[in-house]
Structure 1
Amino acid sequence: MIKNLESAQIMKLDEQVDYATGQVVSKTLSQNKNVSLTLFAFDQHEGLSTHTSTGDALVQVLDGMVEIVIDDTPYTLHKGETICMPANVPHSLYATTRFKMLLTVVFAQ
């Protein structure tokens, strides 16, 4: 089920999570054994250190710019761009500017 969003309402996802100075803000929309949907807002120069996930992760950039490193290869993404990070492959991200994303993780069963 989807939570923390109004049902049957037109909305802009980038307006559903706010920036906070020096912080990473997250808002869980759905989490179960099959899928995880989370909105994030990263202040500039914030990030996530190198890690792996047991599911394929899809990043949709809603605002700003981010550098994502997947298996030692850097990618720069801007608002409106998307990238897939495969399961069990090391990845990290760094907010070049303030940025917001929708992270969808799909887990194999």
Structure 2
Amino acid sequence: MQPLEIASTPNLENLAHQITYQPNKFNVQVIWEEAGQKALLFAFAAGQELKTHTTPHPALLTVLEGSCLFHMQGNSQTLQAGAVIIIPANIPHALTAQSNFKMLLLK
């Protein structure tokens, strides 16, 4: 068996530094996309929100920096740096940045 070869990907080394805050609207950047899958970085200034929506596939949200209030299925939970949450397909969800907040979303 040959060892796994890992290509150097400098643009993925420090995810939180790859995206900046925007004063008027949250910032989103696709950092990887292949075979119908995506990795997206989001940066929300304090108070910015992602309105209630659904996605057709499950997603994995990882908080990189700051905190947000995450809403799903009638419940709200504060997520802070290091938190990971699975968002099921077709379930309405939303979030509001409590502080400057960055996240990685895999879907």
**TM-score normalised over the length of structure 2:** 0.85
Greater fraction strand: 1
| Deviation string, structure 1 residues 82-101 (Cα, Å, up to 9, x no partner) | 11110000100100111000
Correspondence for 2:39: 37
Q: Is the 8 A contact 1:22 1:44 kept in 2?
A: no
Sequence identity of aligned pairs in percent?
33
Give the distance between the partners of 1:98 and 1:22, measured in 2 at CA: 13
Conserved 8 A contact 1:24-1:40: yes
Determine which of 85, 91, 94 is the counterpart of 2:93: 91
What letter is aligned with 2:60?
A: L
- 1:19-68 deviation digits (Å, cap 9, x = unpaired): 12132011111235531210010011101111100010111000000111
What is the TM-score of this pair, normalised by structure 1?
0.83
Structure 1 unpaired stretches of 5+: 1-6
Q: Residues of 2 paired with 1:95 and 1:44: CA distance?
A: 5
Query: Greater Rg, structure 1 or structure 2?
Result: 2
Divergent runs of 4+, >3 A: none
Structure 2 portions without partners, runs of 5+: 1-7
Structure 1 equivalent of residue 5 of structure 2: none
Q: CA RMSD in A?
A: 1.5
1:66 to 65, 68, 76: 68
Aligned to 1:79: 81
